Amino acid sequence: MILKALDSLPRRRNKLWKLETVVDTESSSHPLWNTFQLDLEKVTNLEGLTEVRDSYLGRQRGLVALEMRKLGQFPPSERPEAGRVLNELKNAVLKALETRQTELKKRRDESRVREERIDTTLPGYNFKTGGIHPIRRVWREMEDIFVRMGYTVVVGPEIESDHYNFEALNIPKGHPARDDQDTLYINDTLLLRTHTSPVQIRTMEQHQPPLRIIAPGRVFRRDSVDATHSPMFHQMEGLVVDEGITLADLKGTLEVFFRELFSEETRVRLRPSYFPFVEPGAEVDISCIFCGGNGCRVCKRSGWIEVLGAGMVHPRVFSMVGYDSERYTGFAWGMGIDRIAILKYQVDDMRLLFENDIRFLSQF
Ligand SMILES: [Zn+2]
């Protein structure tokens, strides 16, 4: 029904025509009608329309109301006709205002829809996604290699006692090794651990051999921050204790590990060194992963890069945890996770790993 009614309307979309229609259907012979129509034509928004409505239909000062009041001045014979003409004017004005209001509202709604429309063709925002920090990434990779070799991951407290951090590791008070490690003390007996080695003591106290563990974690030293130092860094400690463990096992283990971590071509060499808790002790180098051992800037033309300290567990350490040092032998090593990350990702400044600048981190 409605569709049919719409179809029967003339297909003209001229707004002026609409106004004319209003005039044609509802009009008035009163002289104010023409003035009203001119005023109405000037209206462009709903506020303007209210003003026109008030000036014509206002109860007190509206022009139509004023005309009504003049009715009494007409001779009685002309009064009914004058009243009819005025009523006609009032109705025509009402009708015209209503039509115009509908039109203006529609126009306002249309422009609002236009302004508020969402352009679905615009490219969307990219949400920033997190990634795994390079230290944690290397940490996991290192853990993974050792776990596959049958190692167990153990952890210990970061706040340690002097006993576990030094004494039990064959570093008694007054030992020069205590000076090497600028320790951050909490009080006379507590400190922030300077290495992850206390974890091997704690583990050996609770478990009998055979033992095959790695202990990763944060360690602290009173170092100033520069390209190669940080007061907080990460270490991974390894310990194997069993009957008949030799230095060859240590070297073989590290070879397998570094070949897995870097490449099949990586070679490992041990240089004699000293650490209080091992005997013999060794510095461990790997063939330069950048030049393959030919010599470059990173390895200072030597073809080798120092990566960790290791050795055979000192019999005195064993006796302190109650192991029979005649029956058991073992090896231990400790390496910096940050140092490995620096080598693996070829980062030339350790500070980059701790500043957590998103521009740096997003490269991994
Ligand atoms: Zn090199």
Among the residue ranges 92-96, 117-121, 209-213, the one predicted with the least confidence is 117-121
- Give distance in angstroms: CA of 267 to centre of ligand 1: 13
Confidence of residue 24 (pLDDT cuts 50, 70, 90): very low
State residue 1's pLDDT score: 43
pTM of the complete model: 0.65
Angstrom distance (rounded) from CA 209 to CA 207: 7
C-alpha 258 – ligand 1 centre gap (Å)? 16
pLDDT at 22 (0 to 100): 43
Task: State the distance from the centre of ligand 1 to the C-alpha of 217, rounded, in angstroms.
Answer: 29
Expressed in angstroms and rounded, the spacing between residue 286 Cα and the centre of ligand 1 is 10
Residue 11, pLDDT score: 53
Rounded to the nearest angstrom, the distance between the alpha carbon of 45 and the centre of ligand 1 is 79
- In contact, 329 and 243? CB cutoff 8 Å: yes
Inform me whether the pLDDT recorded for 18 exceeds 50: no
Q: What residues are neighbours of ligand 1 (ion), with CB under 5 Å?
A: 288, 290-291, 296, 298-299
Centroid of ligand 1 to alpha carbon of 305 (angstroms): 8
CA 208 – CA 351 distance, rounded (Å): 40
- pLDDT score for 10: 52
Which of 354, 308, 321 is closest to 209 using CA atoms?
Answer: 321
Residue 316 contacts by C-beta under 8 Å, 6 or more apart in sequence? Answer: 170
Q: How far is the CA of 241 from the centre of ligand 1 (A)?
A: 34
Distance, CA 218 to ligand 1 centroid (Å)?
29
Residue 293 alpha carbon to ligand 1 centre in Å = 6
* Mean pLDDT computed over 136-148: 97
Ligand 1 centroid–CA 158 distance in Å is 35
CATH class of 134-361: alpha beta
Q: How many angstroms does the Cα of residue 83 sit away from the middle of ligand 1?
A: 111
> For the chain, what is the mean pLDDT?
89
Q: Distance from the CA of 287 to the center of ligand 1, in angstroms?
A: 8
The pLDDT tens digits of the residues spanning 296-338 come to 988 999 999 999 999 999 999 999 999 999 999 999 999 999 9
Alpha helices (H) along the chain: 2-7, 15-25, 32-42, 46-57, 63-70, 79-116, 134-148, 162-165, 177-180, 198-206, 247-261, 315-320, 337-345, 351-355, 358-361
pLDDT at 318 (0 to 100): 96
Q: How many angstroms is it from 352 CA to the middle of ligand 1? A: 22
* Distance between Cα 307 and ligand 1 center (Å): 13
Q: How close is the Cα of 289 to the center of ligand 1, in Å?
A: 7
Which of helix, strand or coil describes residue 315?
helix
CA 285 – ligand 1 centroid, Å: 12
Measured in Å, residue 296 CA sits from the centre of ligand 1 at: 4
Give one word for 113, left, alpha or beta, with left for phi > 0 and alpha for psi -120 to 50. alpha
Residues 6+ apart with CB under 8 A from 127: none
DSSP characters over 20-54: HHHHHHS---STHHHHHHHHHHH--SHHHHHHHHH
**pLDDT tens per residue, range 171-219:** 988 887 777 558 999 998 899 999 999 999 999 999 999 999 999 999 9
